[in-house]
Structure 1
Amino acid sequence: MIDPQEQATLNQALELFHFAFRAFTLGPDAVLAEQGLQRVHHRILYFVGRYPDLSINDLLGILSVSKQALNAPLRRLLELNLIQASQDPQDRRIKRLQLTETGHQLEQRLSGSQRELMARVFAHHGAPSEAAWREIMGTIADWQLPAVRRAPTPRAE
């Protein structure tokens, strides 16, 4: 049970988290709206860009969604030629995902503004604050979604 006096301080932290998240997603949300896309599309573009040749199953694990939940947004990105899918050379049942050049450009536009914001904030506050922020964010992720923090298994060549 949370101490009632501590609750006010925790509510302030929740509000800061809410407003920071809103500020963090403001720019990308505007770009996504121009494209007729949503945040789920950004998450897909980000992780496919970060892990080229990511399998659909690995993407499902990272996003922690069902095949049904991933189907429509992934299909839309394929239709828009932002992502391409190819068969794995060793196991043709596995589809590997890559960003197209257009997809890479959009992902850079979406995530680039977020990377720039984080770089400015970290530079402003210094390395100890950045390390503390990473530790806190990592703890939240580990406590609530431990399996999601795993990197995908690298593809054997």
Structure 2
Amino acid sequence: MAEQSTGGESLLFLTDENLRKGIEAMFFAYRGFTADPDRILENMDYGRAHHRAVHFINRSPGTTVGNLLTILGVTKQSLNRVLRTLFDDGLVEARVGKQDKRERHLYLTDKGHSLERALSDAQRARMRAAYRAAGPSAVQGFRTVLEAMMDAEQRRQYQGPKEGST
């Protein structure tokens, strides 16, 4: 195949074969990235939905159920099932909103923080090893690619919560 270029920049990285390899790399990397937390969660009869809920409640203590629904992109019924088990097992607590009594603000309990730490420690160890192997410019490139794959709303959520103080 002849090299395509624009302004001297090689576009060989855009071939279907390279895109296929990137897609497959993401699938396998995701399996590796979730394997360690999955083993921890399996012992508790929890799944990835529980992990995501715990992660984002930890990221933004006091987040509302509505905000968590938006971030996770799941149905209210699905989230309620997950939250019910987290409440019942003493990992998450809900507090009534100060301004709006209909809102429930979610917080991790000490037990919830311990679980979140175990899950994120496992993922940080894998990510740290990969970052170390790839080097700083590759890490920045990786983050740039991931952010470019997000739509505007996902990028806004990724960049941080905009909720008022809790």
The TM-score with structure 1 as length reference comes to 0.88
Displacement of 1:146: 5.0
Tell me the residue number matched to 1:43.
52
Whether 1:153 aligns to 2:162 is yes
2:25 counterpart letter in structure 1: L
Task: Specify whether residues 145 and 54 from structure 1 end up closer, same or farther in structure 2 by C-alpha distance, changes over 3 A only.
Answer: closer
Closer, same or farther: CA 156–147 of 1 in aligned 2, 3 Å: closer
- Map 1:1-157; keep pairs closer than 5 Å: 6-142=15-151, 145-146=154-155, 148-149=157-158, 151-156=160-165
Separation in structure 2 between the aligned mates of residue 133 and residue 146 of structure 1, nearest angstrom: 15
- 1:67, distance to aligned residue in structure 2 (A): 1.1
CA contact (8 A) 1:54 1:97 kept: yes
Larger Rg: 2
**Cα RMSD (Å):** 2.0
More helix by share: 1
Cα distance in 2, alignment partners of residues 15 and 100 from structure 1: 38
2:10 alignment counterpart: none
1:110-137 per-residue CA deviation (whole Å, 9 max, x = no partner) reads: 1111112112221222211111111101
Distance 1:53 1:143 in 2: 24
Question: For residues 20-39 of structure 1, what are the alpha-carbon distances to aligned partners after superposition, in whole Å with 9 as ceiling and x for unaligned?
Answer: 11111111011110000000
What's the offset of the Cα at 1:139? 0.9
Paired with 1:87 and 1:121, the residues of 2 have a C-alpha distance of 41
Contact 1:63/1:148 (CA < 8 Å) preserved in 2? no
State the identity %.
33
Unaligned runs of 5+ in 1: none
